[in-house]
Structure 1
Amino acid sequence: MSYLKQKSPKFKKFSLANIQHFESFLLLVFFVLGFLGILNHAMWRDELNGWLIARDSPSLTDFWNNIRYEGHPILWYACLYLLNQITQNAIAMQLFHLLLATMGIGLFIYFSPFSRLQKLLFTPGYLPIYEYLLISRNYAIGVLFLFAFCTFFKSREKSYFTLAIILALLANTNAYCLLITVALIMALVIEYIVTKYINLDINLEITLNASLQNALCSLLIVFFGIGLSVILLMPPGDSTLQGGADQWFLQWDFHRFNQTLTRIWNSYILVLVPGDSKPPDVFLFAIISFGILAFMITIFLEYPIILCFYLMGTGGIVLFTYLKFLGSARHYGHLYLILITAFWLSQYYSPSNLLTQFIFKIPESFIPMITRWLSWTKKNKITFLMIILYAQLAAGIVSFSRDVFLPYSASREAAQYIQAKGWQDRFIIGSEDFTIVPISGYLERKIYYPESQKEGSFVLFNQHRKIVNDQEILGQLQKLIDQHPKPLLLILNRKLDASPSGLTIEPIKEFTRSFIGNETYYLYEIK
């Protein structure tokens, strides 16, 4: 029986163990909630910018060049490009994303070694039900391939080809999954070398019969996937996204180090997150995060290959977070996925004393303390996992419910208002450009962006794009007013703060109900 299994809590005669077709029922509930949530969800710029790149790139060459500015690998964008050959309605992207999320959770529900209660808690958790379901990005597809890797992990007994193909695809979902891919392939290489050539006992529950030729060919497949991912993750020289290719944080900063370390806590426990602007709070939670890291390392000491994966995966993302991008929950949430993956993969091994035997070679005065620590972590590892799952569930319920009542973006409401008034064919000016992207997506038409001084739909963060103030926008309107049928429609993501000269500007309506703070909109008529 898996050490992850524990008896479900019973209420009178009720028990999760007594529910027939539990897995199918749980997956159906997930899909139905996701379907209703997807239809209700108002898409924001990060969702629709990729869709518009796929829709409005005139050629495959342009498509390739445009997605290089996105800071993501190709797989999600390739899917969007294919979807656009069928329909240009962005709802197709949402439904496709729902399918990917459901498939990923399906693998978890049907094939993971977790108990029914743990599956029940994980499935509607913050990442599966909210970040990686409602918001159509390239993260659900990463979860799908990560869980596919766990599901087919035992197949390496005869061949590595299946795992290699999965890892090559995983590497091309997003930057964080690329780091996870590197950690997984390094763990597999270490396992193969240790088992085949060093003959160390790591308590594998299978015999690795794959030939060296099979292993090397599989490694080449993974390297190809990693190489393709890295090519697209390296932005063009004129990219300004996240500071561009040269923007790395290479100096030592104690507060940033604490911010980075705190991402471990933020990823696992989402119900109490310290603000980055409060150094004392960040320092406190950095210490707690270090304690959590020590706890998890101790748990996986009996599983050397899993410990290698956990340390390399967690360390890689933490290092990237410090050097490049502190990120938000959907980014450092991959630390939580690494934890779940480590627990899952550990079930393919029996406990080994390969590493623990070295602990007891320390001075005898420390042995009682170490023994108590090892005993305490072993006793409480399931409790710790359950605390994390309950915290994730609470965050998932709150976030999913909030999206039902508070639009994620005001873009859909603004677009629907424009369509209801019959103004969708007017000449429309919109600023700040990247916040107007979702309106362009919902209206299925291009909008004039003052930042680039041309009509467009998606936005590329490059040096051709210039930040403009309201006075400069009015200056461009002076030139546009005589070139297009009047009246014109101006959409801003803030109130107009400039005095028009020679223009009649009439405020029409405000759309301020939005979870994303800068995706509120103010409509003006220009005469």
Structure 2
Amino acid sequence: MHLKLNSWSLSDKKFVILSLYIILLILGLSNHEMWRDEYEEYLQARDSGAIFGLQNIMSQGHAMLWQTCLWIITRFSHNPLWMQVFHGFIALAFAYVLLYKSPFKLWQSALLLSSYFLLFEYAVISRCYAFGVLFFFVFSHFYSKQKKLTLKTTIVLFLLANTSIYAMMLTAVICAWIIFFQRLYVFKKDNIKQYLWLIIVSLGVLLAYLQIKPGADNSFPVHRVILPFDKYRFDVAITQFFSAFVPICKFQNKFFWNTNFLMNSLGIVKWYLPLIVFIIVSIPFATRIKILLLWVMGVGMILFFQYHTGFRFARYYGHIFLLWIVCFWFLQVFYQVKNKINTIVFGFVIAMQGIGGVMMYNADRVQKFSTGYDAAQWLKKHGYSKNYMIASVDFAMSPIAAELNRKIYYMQHKALCSFTKWDKKRLNSIYSNDISEAIAEGIKNGCPVIFIASHEIEYFEFYKNKKNPKNEFIFDKYKVKKMAYFPPGIEYYERYWIFKITKI
């Protein structure tokens, strides 16, 4: 008995595609070794004493929604696996909305789910950005039906603003665009409810800003630029626009994540490539001024922020691609536009996205993304998980602190910590006497101390002769033995030397 595809209903085909995506999602999440940023927010939620994790939210520069959910999860379990499970359900939700609620053809929705951002970056990596994808899609569905703000769209935009700084900025752009789109700048009594909804959304943006705004004590290394004009920063920013639509990594490099196959050694592409891509992807909006305005405003906002901060990661510039989907969504619904040029442009975009998505998904499957999980499991297996631990550098240690469900003495803070605290107390340099003090404190009970290093410790004899390193050496009045080494995976900062320290 043969099943004919053309005999299937549209609903059957959508169910099959959603089922295939679920399978890919499960395989991707189960094969992915979480990296430090995934664990970092988990630890901030786990170790927060305040309700909903607000204590750590306000000090780390993140919007509250994702971490609030993690705070609730960690009240029931300290196993990071549940964070991945929860994230998987969010990815499933945005896939459902795209398949069942979007105006796109089935083949378009299916191929969008194979894109770099919807198959890997915002699906496999468990971060706050998946919430952003979901709320962008839900907002597009609600607003395209009503063409005005309602209670539903207001709630969605309020939540969207509180997912990430990029979602916050785009929510502000959407608010400004709605004023223009609905001609709300002309006061009418009939629009009073619309003004009320806009005020509520604006409060959501303000709430997100107050959480994200760096405090006076913040020491996170960001070099902000506006004037004088920095050409290199500008080139980096427009390179990110190109990578948002051609997200094909430079897989010949050992550390290829967040790269592009056309980048030079400075991490930029030829200036005309982003220009060509911008022209191509903007063609569908060229004669629809209202949609074009939303597109240009959103792109301008993100590129300026990238130029200003120097941020250059896929999870950030992926919001340009999400904005493009929203604009195309509105184009399809508001204007019922159907022509070959738009289909070709859409096909070009999802072809580039599909190549990048499938290649990255497969690379994450065959290579270790991070070796932090392996280091933690090694410590468990060899009976060291309860020993006093000292570590440097702090921001690379969250995988171990999370998987061992404990705190570690971080040299950068001279204290037991789990997540990284980017405050003025954080030390950028450590000295020999700092290490001696930490060891003396930890070895009081007579048990060996475990020292974990993600970088070379200049005071350890082991690192002084790289061709023939000494696996056992003396430091101060202690015997130090190198026990294991875990080389970096796709994420290059996360490598781990594990030393055992005992009294002589």
**Band of TM-score, shorter chain:** 0.7 to 0.9
1:316 equivalenced with 2:301 (yes/no): yes
TM-score (norm 2): 0.88
Q: Does the aligned pair in 1 maintain the 2:389–2:442 contact within 8 Å?
A: no
1:237 equivalenced with 2:216 (yes/no): yes
Task: Tell me the distance in 2 between the aligned counterparts of 1:463 and 1:438.
Answer: 24
1:24 equivalenced with 2:15 (yes/no): yes
The change in CA–CA distance for 1:481 and 1:64 in structure 2 (over 3 A counts) is: closer
The residue number in structure 2 matching 1:404 is 365
Partner-residue secondary structure (3-state), 1:448? strand
Q: Does 110-119 or 150-159 show the bigger shift?
A: 150-159
Q: Does the aligned pair in 2 maintain the 1:406–1:513 contact within 8 Å?
A: no
1:52 equivalenced with 2:13 (yes/no): no
Measured after TM superposition, the shift of residue 275 of structure 1 is 3.0
- Number of residue pairs aligned between Structure 1 and Structure 2: 474
Measured after TM superposition, the shift of residue 432 of structure 1 is 0.6
Aligned partner of 2:320: which letter? L
Q: Does the aligned pair in 1 maintain the 2:233–2:310 contact within 8 Å?
A: no
Measured after TM superposition, the shift of residue 476 of structure 1 is 2.8
The residue number in structure 2 matching 1:342 is 327
Measured after TM superposition, the shift of residue 219 of structure 1 is 0.7
The residue number in structure 2 matching 1:261 is 238
Task: Tell me the distance in 1 between the aligned counterparts of 2:191 and 2:9.
Answer: 47
| 1:171 aligned residue (158, 161, 184) | 161
Aligned partner of 2:275: which letter? F
The residue number in structure 1 matching 2:183 is 193
Task: Tell me the distance in 1 between the aligned counterparts of 2:326 and 2:261.
Answer: 23
Measured after TM superposition, the shift of residue 381 of structure 1 is 3.2
The residue number in structure 2 matching 1:368 is none
Structure 2: tracts of 5 or more residues without a match: 249-259, 462-474
Task: Tell me the distance in 1 between the aligned counterparts of 2:148 and 2:131.
Answer: 26
Measured after TM superposition, the shift of residue 248 of structure 1 is 4.2
Partner-residue secondary structure (3-state), 2:416? strand
Partner-residue secondary structure (3-state), 1:239? coil
Aligned partner of 1:173: which letter? T
1:525 equivalenced with 2:500 (yes/no): yes
| 1:75 aligned residue (23, 40, 65) | 65
Q: Does the aligned pair in 2 maintain the 1:30–1:123 contact within 8 Å?
A: yes
TM-score (norm 1): 0.84
The change in CA–CA distance for 1:504 and 1:27 in structure 2 (over 3 A counts) is: same
Identity of matched residues, %: 26
CA offset digits 1:319-343 (Å, max 9, x no partner): 1111113321111011111111111
TM alignment of 1:71-150, pairs within 5 A: 71-150=61-140
| 2:480 aligned residue (499, 505, 512) | 505
Runs of 4+ in 1 over 4 A off after TM superposition: 13-20
The change in CA–CA distance for 1:289 and 1:49 in structure 2 (over 3 A counts) is: same
Partner-residue secondary structure (3-state), 2:452? strand
| 1:216 aligned residue (184, 191, 195) | 195
The residue number in structure 2 matching 1:275 is 263
Q: Does the aligned pair in 2 maintain the 1:156–1:210 contact within 8 Å?
A: no
Measured after TM superposition, the shift of residue 485 of structure 1 is 3.0
Measured after TM superposition, the shift of residue 480 of structure 1 is 2.3
The change in CA–CA distance for 1:434 and 1:472 in structure 2 (over 3 A counts) is: farther
Q: Does the aligned pair in 2 maintain the 1:44–1:411 contact within 8 Å?
A: yes
1:483 equivalenced with 2:444 (yes/no): yes
CA offset digits 1:179-217 (Å, max 9, x no partner): 2212222221111117x959xxxxxxxxxx993121011
Measured after TM superposition, the shift of residue 35 of structure 1 is 1.6
Aligned partner of 1:504: which letter? K
Q: Does the aligned pair in 2 maintain the 1:73–1:175 contact within 8 Å?
A: yes
Aligned partner of 2:441: which letter? L
The residue number in structure 1 matching 2:468 is none
Partner-residue secondary structure (3-state), 1:463? coil
TM alignment of 1:349-428, pairs within 5 A: 349-350=334-335, 380-428=341-389
CA offset digits 1:490-525 (Å, max 9, x no partner): 111134442412110001111115111111111110
Task: Tell me the distance in 2 between the aligned counterparts of 1:318 and 1:158.
Answer: 28
Measured after TM superposition, the shift of residue 68 of structure 1 is 2.7
Alignment RMSD (CA, Å): 2.6
Partner-residue secondary structure (3-state), 2:335? coil
CA offset digits 1:438-484 (Å, max 9, x no partner): 10000001111111111111111111110234635532344325423
Task: Tell me the distance in 2 between the aligned counterparts of 1:190 and 1:290.
Answer: 27
Measured after TM superposition, the shift of residue 47 of structure 1 is 0.7
The change in CA–CA distance for 1:415 and 1:437 in structure 2 (over 3 A counts) is: same
Q: Does the aligned pair in 2 maintain the 1:414–1:521 contact within 8 Å?
A: yes
CA offset digits 1:146-200 (Å, max 9, x no partner): 0000111134357522211111111110111112212222221111117x959xx
Q: Does the aligned pair in 1 maintain the 2:401–2:418 contact within 8 Å?
A: yes
Aligned partner of 1:385: which letter? F
